[in-house]
């Protein structure tokens, strides 16, 4: 689902679509750890026959690529050869699976929802959430601050005149144009222009940081490493203590680093985890835990009366940037003007990963959908969303 859009900024003046008022989070249903109660679809406002049709559609539109991701990943990025080699772990994946949550209850499920599979770029949403925690803890004063100012002596990620201009916001919006090599992966080898040679890739023209949106995993991993230096603790540990344990996630999820992505901070050797599975690694997680993560944001960052991440941060993440009207902060894909997903409200968001792995969050319909290993591209995802929402009975 990763976009390769390159768009010059204008004065878009866009704001996140206002989400309808919901019942107070303190009065809403939150699933206990280890289980998520179901309810009859009719009691949740669904036409059961139509919801069953949506589930059948999901199962019929499974990704048909090999389930051996050690083979599928390099093949998917074969245009990047010789830089498409794996650096992190992989595992064979499950088939199509997913869940539909409405009003805090399970309305439908399909496939192997218990398997902790790679989730590719949905990992980026976990990464930006940890950055949000750093912001909430005032370790980042303002996202418009230059990242270089927060780096300890000897860290030269942002020492060049070009990279020194990069702010936290530019990294979060994928507009940084950071230039360099990290973990043996040059920025210019990520999704290079078609029809060019690696020698031509390396000679690419730099653009002013903040002006062009370009989906680039090397730069995502720069954000991860910069955040690690800032917080001085492995990001999976922070995520576990501050988000995943409080929302009752399982113990099966794990966030894996590349074999060469380790640094020593304050005398402790730590992994610098990637923001996806482009070269292996990233977040391995099951559908239930992805649903809990989406449900946290459906409830504006609150879980069982406790604010885990600020509404201010979520509002910032949902605000489109000037270079891409359908992208907020890292892996918050927006449905601005209903262009990406016409079947969904403009206020809905998706967290998207290759494969396709999708977490759909819809405040207007009080719905979270997790859909995994969907084939057929964006159109199929839109059709699946449309079938689920089409099953919602009019009030």
Residue 340 pLDDT exceeds 70 = yes
Q: pLDDT grade, residue 28 (50/70/90)? A: confident
Tens of pLDDT, residue by residue over 276-309, are 999 999 999 999 999 999 999 999 999 999 999 9
Q: 171 is written with which tokens? A: 């990294």
Residue 60 pLDDT exceeds 90 = yes
CA 271 to the chain's CA centroid: 20
Verdict on whether the full-model pTM lies above 0.75 = yes
Q: What percent of the chain has pLDDT over 90?
A: 92
Q: pLDDT grade, residue 5 (50/70/90)? A: very low
pLDDT in the model for residue 395: 78
CA 193 to the chain's CA centroid: 24
Q: Name the class of domain 40-390.
A: alpha beta
**Burial of 343: CB neighbours in 10 Å, binned 0-12, 13-18, 19+:** middle
Cα–Cα distance measured from residue 350 to residue 358, given in angstroms and rounded to the nearest whole number: 7
Please name which of 266, 352, 330 lies closest in space to residue 130, comparing C-alpha atoms. Answer: 330
Tens of pLDDT, residue by residue over 203-235, are 999 999 999 999 999 999 999 999 999 999 999
Domain boundaries, the chain: 40-390
Cα–Cα distance measured from residue 378 to residue 371, given in angstroms and rounded to the nearest whole number: 12
Mean pLDDT of the chain: 94
pLDDT in the model for residue 21: 47
- Residue 237, CA distances (Å) to 174, 240, 241, 277 in order: 25, 5, 6, 19
User: Phi and psi (nearest 5°) for 236?
Assistant: -60, -35
Tens of pLDDT, residue by residue over 77-102, are 999 999 999 999 999 999 999 999 99
Cα–Cα distance measured from residue 56 to residue 189, given in angstroms and rounded to the nearest whole number: 39
Residues in the chain: 395
Residue 55 belongs to what H/E stretch? helix 48-60
């Amino acid at each position: 689902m990763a976009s390769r859009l390159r768009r010059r900024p204008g004065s878009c003046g866009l704001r996140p679509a206002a989400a309808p008022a919901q019942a107070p989070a303190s009065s809403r249903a939150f699933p206990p750890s280890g289980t998520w109660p179901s309810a009859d679809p009719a009691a949740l406002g669904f036409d059961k026959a139509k919801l069953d049709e949506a589930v059948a559609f999901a199962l019929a539109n499974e990704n048909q690529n090999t389930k051996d991701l050690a083979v599928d990943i390099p093949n998917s990025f074969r245009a990047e050869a010789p830089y498409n080699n794996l650096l992190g772990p992989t595992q064979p994946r499950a088939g199509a699976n997913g869940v539909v949550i409405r009003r805090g209850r399970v309305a439908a499920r399909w496939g192997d929802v218990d398997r902790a599979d790679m989730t590719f770029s949905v990992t980026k949403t976990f990464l930006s959430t940890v950055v949000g925690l750093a912001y909430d803890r005032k370790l980042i004063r303002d996202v418009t601050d230059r990242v270089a100012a927060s780096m300890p002596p000897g860290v030269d990620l942002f020492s060049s005149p070009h990279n020194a201009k990069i702010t936290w916001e530019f990294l979060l919006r994928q507009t940084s144009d950071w230039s360099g090599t990290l973990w043996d992966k040059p920025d210019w080898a990520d999704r290079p222009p078609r029809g060019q040679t690696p020698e031509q890739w390396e000679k690419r023209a730099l653009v002013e940081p903040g002006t062009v949106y370009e989906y680039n995993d090397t730069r995502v991993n720069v954000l991860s490493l910069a955040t690690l230096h800032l917080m001085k603790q492995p990001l999976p540990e922070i995520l576990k203590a501050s988000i995943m344990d409080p929302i009752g996630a399982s113990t099966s999820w794990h966030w894996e680093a590349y074999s060469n992505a380790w640094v020593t901070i304050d005398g402790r050797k730590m992994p610098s985890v990637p923001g996806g599975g482009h070269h292996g690694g990233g977040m391995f997680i099951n559908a239930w835990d992805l649903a809990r993560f989406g449900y946290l944001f459906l409830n504006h960052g609150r879980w069982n009366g406790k604010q885990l991440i600020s509404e201010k941060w979520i509002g910032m993440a949902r605000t489109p940037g000037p270079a891409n009207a359908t992208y907020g902060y890292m892996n918050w894909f927006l449905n601005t003007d209903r262009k990406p997903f016409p079947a969904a409200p403009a206020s809905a968001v998706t967290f998207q990963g290759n494969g396709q792995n999708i977490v759909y969050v819809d405040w207007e319909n009080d719905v979270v959908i997790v859909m995994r290993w969907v084939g057929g591209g964006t159109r199929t995802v839109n059709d699946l969303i449309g079938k689920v929402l089409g099953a919602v009975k009019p009030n």
